[in-house]
Amino acid sequence: MNKLVKYLLVALMLLGLTVSVFAGGGQEEKVEEKGKLVLATLNSVEGQTTKKALLAFAELKGIEVEIVEAPYSNLFEKQVLDMSQGTGLYDIVLLDDPWFTQYAENGWLTDLGPFFEKKGESGLSDDFIPTSAAISHYPYKTGKVYAIPFFGNAQMFFYRADLFAKYGLNRAPKTWDETYAVMKKIYDSEEGVYGYVLRGQQGNPVVAQFMPVFWSFGGRMFSDDKSKVQIDTPEALNALNFFLKLKDISPPGAESFNAQQLATHMLQGTAATTINWPAFVPAFEDPKQSKIVGKIGYAPIPSGTVTGSSEIGHWIAAVPAGSKNKELAFDFIHWATSAEKQKEHAKAMGTPPTRLSVFTDPELVKMDEFKHYPILKDCIANSTPRPRIANWNEVENTFGIYLSMAVAGKISPKEALSKAQAEVEKLMKKAGYMK
């Protein structure tokens, strides 16, 4: 009896082990047969929209779907892990456009050209805003199409129209000079209102905040062929000096502000202007959480020495090279980014479209919640993408450290730029862009 029990125990344990090892494999095979679509998406309103769209698509086609939602930085890790290992776990990925160059350059994405051809189309429709279409091609603008722009984001300049009128500017501000003059007056004379609110947190936030200022002073981080780093330049120094002037009229603690703190200050009516993403527009216009309903104005980024330009920040959808259901996956993103669907998403979820016809849709433009659409459309059309390099994450982080040092007053603007120049050059050499 004792012996039997021992035998059974050992057998049971070995069995348990084998089952647990092979259980994973069994499930995956089932997925392949059924033509299931797996989507890796963000856990935000954009992610919710893609999720709803995919569920509707599944019902239409009678297929099974699975949705993997993850927070921003986690989503990048998941996607990179899957695609670099070629596991083919995901059929559709929703990605932030700065990740795109790395994905496309590494050959992780499917060339969508042949699928467009099958539908009798030559590529992305002309209805997409040209700048939105450009970031979905690799190389930028001129290469093959690897993605379809899903949600159209570009930074906008938010300003308190009522305060600007009170201090003498009765229209949307056009240049940094006139804007700064009013902002300073507001900062000096208006009780409890700061002139600007700066997004200064080290890393991506401070870089995203600096770029539009940098560009409006004629700066460019790299030469067109990426063989030269242009951070330590007079244009950049002008831009950084002005950036620090903006910080001086910002609320204390701006050195650690991220997009949410900017929105909070605007909602509370404690800041007169900011540069931020349009995702906060619905909140600004909602009387339940906003003290500035009807008082806020939207404008493109003011001009410095050259025309102002926002940073583009689109969410685009692509099909990983390892996907086993490429055609079906393409069908979905093609379907979900149609003008009809984009309008539906805008109305139901408030997510910004990427098609001109939706931005100018007569029904939408009449609605209060979309009154910023003409401005947003212009902002996207005049936007600049973050440099199209595969190691952007690392370059951005390094640049962000020195910007943060300058914003914190630890080193002078000149020193920050020359140090950033040296460090970024090292990274560009390592990545093979520079010799």
Partner 1 sequence: MKEQLKIGWFEKNTKWLLLLPTIFILLALTIYPLIYSVIAMLHTVNIRTGERTFVGPGNFIRMAKDPFFWNALKNTAIYTCSAVSVEFVIGLSLAMFLTTKITGRNVFRSLILAPMMLPPIVVALIFKIIYIPDFGIINWFLALFGIKGIIWEASADTALISLILVDVWEWTPFMFLILLAGLQAIPLDPYEAAEVDGATGFQIFRDITFPMLRPAVLIALLLRIMDTLRIFDQIFIMTGGGPANATETMSIYIYRHGFRFTNIGYATAMSFIMLIITIVISNLFIKRLKIEEVF
> What does the binding site for partner 1 look like in residue numbers (CB under 8 A)?
3, 6, 9-10, 13-14, 16-17, 73, 76-77, 80, 84, 105-107, 200-203, 205-206, 251-257, 261, 270, 391, 393-394, 397, 400-401, 404-405, 407-411
The answer to whether the CB of 428 falls within 8 A of the CB of 398 is no
Considering the complex, state which of residue 106 and residue 305 has its C-beta at the smaller distance from partner 1.
106
The answer to whether the CB of 361 falls within 8 A of the CB of 343 is yes
Q: Annotate 208-246 with b (16+ C-beta within 10 A) or e (fewer).
A: bbbbbbbbbbbbbbbeeeeeebebbbebbbbbbebbebb
Residues ≥6 apart with Cβ < 8 Å to 366: none
The answer to whether the CB of 292 falls within 8 A of the CB of 160 is yes
Considering the complex, state which of residue 207 and residue 319 has its C-beta at the smaller distance from partner 1.
207
Amino acid at 56: A
Beta carbon of residue 426, minimum distance to partner 1 (angstroms, whole number): 10
Query: Which of 124, 164, 155 lies closest to 333 in space, CA to CA?
Result: 124
Beta carbon of residue 276, minimum distance to partner 1 (angstroms, whole number): 18
| Strands (DSSP E) found in 18-61 | 37-42
Query: Which of 87, 92, 44 lies closest to 328 in space, CA to CA?
Result: 92
* φ/ψ of residue 272, rounded to 5: -90, -30
CB atoms within 10 A of CB 74: 12
Beta carbon of residue 297, minimum distance to partner 1 (angstroms, whole number): 24
Beta carbon of residue 214, minimum distance to partner 1 (angstroms, whole number): 19
Beta carbon of residue 105, minimum distance to partner 1 (angstroms, whole number): 7
Considering the complex, state which of residue 297 and residue 400 has its C-beta at the smaller distance from partner 1.
400
Beta carbon of residue 86, minimum distance to partner 1 (angstroms, whole number): 9
Beta carbon of residue 332, minimum distance to partner 1 (angstroms, whole number): 27
Considering the complex, state which of residue 16 and residue 114 has its C-beta at the smaller distance from partner 1.
16
Burial bucket for residue 1 (CB in 10 Å: 0-12, 13-18, 19+): exposed
Considering the complex, state which of residue 75 and residue 312 has its C-beta at the smaller distance from partner 1.
75
- Please work out, in degrees rounded to the nearest 5, the angle formed at the alpha carbon of residue 209 by the alpha carbons of 205 and 212: 145
Considering the complex, state which of residue 222 and residue 332 has its C-beta at the smaller distance from partner 1.
222
Alpha helices (runs of H) in 148-288, residue ranges in sequence order: 161-166, 176-189, 204-216, 234-248, 259-267, 281-284
The Cα 19–Cα 40 span in angstroms is 28
Considering the complex, state which of residue 382 and residue 397 has its C-beta at the smaller distance from partner 1.
397
User: In a 3-state reduction of DSSP, which class is residue 299?
Assistant: strand
Beta carbon of residue 270, minimum distance to partner 1 (angstroms, whole number): 7
Beta carbon of residue 363, minimum distance to partner 1 (angstroms, whole number): 40
Considering the complex, state which of residue 69 and residue 105 has its C-beta at the smaller distance from partner 1.
105
Beta carbon of residue 408, minimum distance to partner 1 (angstroms, whole number): 4
Q: Annotate 12-27 with b (16+ C-beta within 10 A) or e (fewer).
A: eeeeeeeeeeeeeeee
Considering the complex, state which of residue 302 and residue 400 has its C-beta at the smaller distance from partner 1.
400
Considering the complex, state which of residue 30 and residue 291 has its C-beta at the smaller distance from partner 1.
291
Residue carrying structure tokens 């009809």: 340
The Cα 334–Cα 341 span in angstroms is 10
The answer to whether the CB of 193 falls within 8 A of the CB of 271 is yes
The helix (H) or strand (E) run that includes residue 158 is strand 156-160
Beta carbon of residue 202, minimum distance to partner 1 (angstroms, whole number): 2
Considering the complex, state which of residue 127 and residue 255 has its C-beta at the smaller distance from partner 1.
255
